[in-house]
């Protein structure tokens, strides 16, 4: 498919998992992509994979919780590619699993800084650039934990609910300027995050799968197909929407 031919995208958290698969999917459809990730190794690997497809890619080492880093990935992309058409605002961490009353304040703040403030900073500076472009499309990564509660990961659930609030609000604020803002809410998806969450235990994996009507995890490619669609011109009237992609988990 070449429906994204010549478009410019930014993917945060593009060094692994869902972000990497989205970056590759955008590149396969003709886009050039900036990878903003805290991991130099993961980010550079994704760039090599994209270049092998014949697309252009750029890695910008970024901690999305740092305002200067966010300004930097936006400015570096504009310097290299002149515009930003698509933004996958995706980097996030899960924190640790423990009840709310035991949750350390420092770790709570870290999850907020990366998952919520990082998403806000990204939207703030990318929207400024898109306003100068004449428009663009943004997809923010929420989670099933942004739709329903998620015992054991209170800051994660709090921040993912927050990402949905930012999504809906920005969608309303910028629709008239041709900027669409949507969110995806993946359920358990087969990435490093799920491995960390279950600590690699077969039993824990089976327990999580047993709670999913489809009986299995989603794949990063399945999520990437949805994201590429939402970022494309195939979805011009879709704005302010939240798409669960979770095998039916949040439907029940």
In the set 73, 103, 121, 156, the catalytic residue is 156
Kindly state the smallest distance separating residue 115's Cβ from ligand NAD, in Å.
Answer: 6
Among 4, 57, 93, 157, binds ligand NAD (CB under 6 A): 93
Residue showing tokens 């304040």: 105
Kindly state the smallest distance separating residue 40's Cβ from ligand NAD, in Å.
Answer: 9
Angle, in degrees to the nearest 10, between helices 118-133 and 154-174: 20
Q: Does 13 bind ligand NAD (CB under 6 A)?
A: yes
Among 10, 11, 15, 22, binds ligand NAD (CB under 6 A): 15
With vertex at residue 210, the alpha carbon angle to CA 204 and CA 214, rounded to the nearest 5 degrees, is 130
Among 37, 117, 212, 231, binds ligand NAD (CB under 6 A): 37
Contact 116, 161 (CB under 8 A): no
Contact 202, 194 (CB under 8 A): no
Q: Does 207 bind ligand NAD (CB under 6 A)?
A: no
Would residue 243 show up in a list of annotated catalytic residues for this protein? no
Kindly state the smallest distance separating residue 180's Cβ from ligand NAD, in Å.
Answer: 20
> Rounded CA gap, 14 and 186, in Å?
16
Tell which positions 59-78 bind ligand NAD, by CB under 6 A. Answer: 62-65
Given the complex with ligand NAD, which of 131 and 209 has the nearer CB atom? 209
Kindly state the smallest distance separating residue 208's Cβ from ligand NAD, in Å.
Answer: 9
Kindly state the smallest distance separating residue 176's Cβ from ligand NAD, in Å.
Answer: 28
Beta bridge partners of 212: none
Q: Which stretch binds ligand NAD (CB under 6 A): 22-30, 75-83, 91-99, 168-176?
A: 91-99
Among 7, 11, 19, 183, binds ligand NAD (CB under 6 A): 19
Among 38, 70, 86, 123, binds ligand NAD (CB under 6 A): 38
Residue showing tokens 């009507």: 213
Q: Which residues bind ligand NAD (CB under 6 A)?
A: 12-13, 15-19, 37-39, 42, 62-65, 90-93, 114, 141, 143, 186, 188-189, 191-194
Catalytic residues: 156
């Amino acid at each position: 498919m070449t429906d994204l031919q010549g478009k410019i995208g930014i993917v945060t958290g593009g060094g692994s998992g869902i972000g990497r698969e989205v970056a590759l999917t955008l590149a396969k459809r003709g886009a050039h992509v900036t990878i903003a990730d805290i991991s130099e190794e993961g980010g550079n690997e994704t760039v090599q994979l994209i270049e092998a497809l014949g697309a252009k890619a750029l890695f910008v080492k970024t901690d999305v919780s740092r305002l200067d880093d966010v300004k930097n990935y936006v400015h570096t992309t504009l310097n290299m590619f002149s515009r930003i058409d698509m933004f996958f605002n995706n980097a996030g961490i899960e924190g640790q699993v423990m009840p709310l009353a035991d949750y350390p304040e420092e770790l709570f703040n870290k999850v907020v800084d990366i998952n919520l403030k990082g998403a806000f900073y990204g939207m703030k500076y990318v929207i400024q650039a898109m306003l100068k472009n004449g428009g663009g499309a943004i997809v923010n990564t929420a989670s099933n934990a942004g739709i329903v509660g998620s015992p054991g990961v209170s800051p994660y659930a709090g921040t993912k609910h927050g990402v949905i609030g930012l999504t809906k609000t920005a969608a309303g604020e910028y629709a008239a300027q041709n900027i669409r803002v949507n969110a995806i809410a993946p359920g358990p998806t087969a990435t490093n995050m799920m491995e960390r969450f279950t600590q690699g235990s077969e039993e824990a994996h089976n327990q999580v799968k047993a709670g999913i009507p489809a009986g299995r995890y989603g794949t990063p490619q399945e999520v990437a197909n949805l994201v590429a669609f939402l970022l494309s011109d195939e979805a011009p009237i879709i704005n302010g929407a939240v798409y669960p992609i979770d095998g039916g988990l949040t439907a029940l």
